[in-house]
Amino acid sequence: MTNSATAGLPARTSSRIRSLGYIGLTATDLDAWRTFATDVCGLQISARSTEEQLLLRADERSWRISVTPGDGRLTHVGWEVAGKEELDLLAAELDAAGVAVDDPGTADERGVTGLIRAKDPAGNQLEFFYGAKMGLDPFVSPRGITFVTGDQGLGHVVLAMPDMAEAQRFYLDILRFRVSDWVNMGPFTALFTHVNPRHHSFAMAPSPGPAMMHHFMLEVADLDMVGRTYDLVTDGAAPLTSTLGKHTNDQMVSFYMQTPSACQAEYGWSGRPIDDATWTTVVHDKPSIWGHRQVGPGPGAPQGG
Ligand SMILES: [Fe+2]
């Protein structure tokens, strides 16, 4: 029923975006990334990889993380929609909101059927796609790791944003990511958002500097997989940046390590899902119930989520 109280309110409250599909990073040393991905994380190198592009698998998709030569920064974040109709509608909505959107013609290169791109207010390159290619061969983790993906997507990314108000307008009002909660990190508050039952696929924290990715998260199916990987890292396989701990908001048991790019990786287990029918947003006064002690010189933004 439409009445004066509801007139003018948006009819659509859920995002057209289904999940975090993929991320693209750069690194000065692709060999270091190859070793980090396989020997530490347990990711599989995709047969589609080339000398100039390392493509990494975490599940049956042909790839989930790409690494190309560069200074270590994030090159793109790929958000998945259900199909062509949703992609066309999203393109129209971005355009109507004044966001420049185009088709870069790189769907084949990304291994997807359709793709458009737009920049968020901080200048991060976002890609929206559908029809991802599955791998030719079954996913086999070199370390026997099972990653939690499926309808929860790859995991999550946490980006530092120079202008939180602008970023919230873009991600909440235009893309319609839903607020999960806020977490007080001390000098600032971070915002966590979801697009599917994963507690957060995307979080943002204010940063006076340029936009950057603080970390991405990989969730594994078993606490022992986290523990064994933690052993490898504490034995020196990769720089530990935050000790094992449990987050207040998604209650994930995880640790953080430095990747060969300019970001960290969170490696965790048992994040709690969100049911939108019953979820209420809260503010947490600290990021962790226990642990997550910062031990290394990670890139400048917050430890959390
Ligand atoms: Fe995280």
Same domain, 65 and 195: no
Number of other CB atoms surrounding residue 22 within 10 Å: 26
* C-alpha of residue 134 to centroid of ligand 1, in Å: 26
With a cut of 90, say whether residue 69 has pLDDT above it: yes
SS3 85: helix
What is the per-residue pLDDT across 170-224, written as a single tens digit (0 to 9) for each? 999 999 999 999 999 999 999 999 999 999 999 999 998 888 999 999 999 999 9
Domain extent at residue 280: 150-291
* C-alpha of residue 224 to centroid of ligand 1, in Å: 19
267 within domain boundaries: yes
Same domain, 285 and 159: yes
Region 269-293: mean pLDDT is: 97
* C-alpha of residue 215 to centroid of ligand 1, in Å: 7
Nearest to 145 by CA among 231, 2, 38, 265: 38
197 within domain boundaries: yes
Same domain, 179 and 279: yes
296 within domain boundaries: no
Region 270-284: mean pLDDT is: 97
Place of tokens 């594994």: 220
Same domain, 46 and 82: yes
137 within domain boundaries: no
Q: Give the per-residue pLDDT at 4.
A: 40
* C-alpha of residue 266 to centroid of ligand 1, in Å: 6
* C-alpha of residue 85 to centroid of ligand 1, in Å: 31
Q: Give the per-residue pLDDT at 297.
A: 62
User: By percentage, how much of the chain surpasses pLDDT 90?
Assistant: 90
Q: Give the per-residue pLDDT at 226.
A: 98
Nearest to 65 by CA among 120, 221, 75: 75
What is the per-residue pLDDT across 80-119, written as a single tens digit (0 to 9) for each? 999 999 999 999 999 999 999 999 999 999 999 999 999 9
Output the CA angle 4-9-12, nearest 5 degrees.
140
* C-alpha of residue 5 to centroid of ligand 1, in Å: 38
Same domain, 88 and 169: no
* CATH (domain of 44): 3.10.180.10
Same domain, 175 and 286: yes
* C-alpha of residue 218 to centroid of ligand 1, in Å: 9
255 within domain boundaries: yes
299 within domain boundaries: no
* C-alpha of residue 10 to centroid of ligand 1, in Å: 30
Q: Give the per-residue pLDDT at 46.
A: 98
Q: Give the per-residue pLDDT at 189.
A: 97
> Which of these three, 68, 96, 130, is where a domain ends?
130
For the chain, helix, strand, coil in percent to 5 are: 20, 35, 45
* C-alpha of residue 247 to centroid of ligand 1, in Å: 9
* C-alpha of residue 214 to centroid of ligand 1, in Å: 9
Same domain, 155 and 286: yes
Q: Where are the alpha helices (DSSP H) in 14-112?
A: 30-35, 84-96, 107-110
Q: Give the confidence band of 13 by pLDDT, cuts at 50, 70, 90.
A: low
In whole angstroms, give the CA distance from residue 213 to residue 222. 26
| Residues 241 and 233 sit within 8 Å (Cβ to Cβ) | no
* C-alpha of residue 248 to centroid of ligand 1, in Å: 11
> What region does 110 belong to: left with phi over 0, alpha with psi -120 to 50, or beta?
alpha
- The residues placing their C-beta within 5 Å of ligand 1, an ion, are 217, 266, 305
List CB contacts of 259: < 8 A, sequence separation 6 or more: 25, 27, 33, 36, 238, 265
What domain count does the chain have?
2
Same domain, 154 and 126: no
301 within domain boundaries: no
> Which of these three, 96, 130, 164, is where a domain ends?
130
> Which of these three, 130, 159, 193, is where a domain ends?
130
Q: Give the per-residue pLDDT at 298.
A: 54
User: By percentage, how much of the chain surpasses pLDDT 70?
Assistant: 92
Same domain, 165 and 265: yes
* C-alpha of residue 54 to centroid of ligand 1, in Å: 23
* C-alpha of residue 45 to centroid of ligand 1, in Å: 23
In whole angstroms, give the CA distance from residue 222 to residue 11. 40
248 within domain boundaries: yes
Q: Give the per-residue pLDDT at 5.
A: 43
Name which of 68-77, 202-211, 271-280 the model is least confident about: 202-211
With a cut of 90, say whether residue 305 has pLDDT above it: no
In whole angstroms, give the CA distance from residue 34 to residue 87. 33
Same domain, 126 and 184: no
Same domain, 158 and 237: yes
* C-alpha of residue 173 to centroid of ligand 1, in Å: 23
* C-alpha of residue 3 to centroid of ligand 1, in Å: 41
Same domain, 96 and 168: no
What is the per-residue pLDDT across 154-175, written as a single tens digit (0 to 9) for each? 999 999 999 999 999 999 999 9
Name which of 121-135, 207-221, 256-270, 285-299 the model is least confident about: 285-299
Place of tokens 């084949």: 108
* C-alpha of residue 62 to centroid of ligand 1, in Å: 24
With a cut of 70, say whether residue 3 has pLDDT above it: no
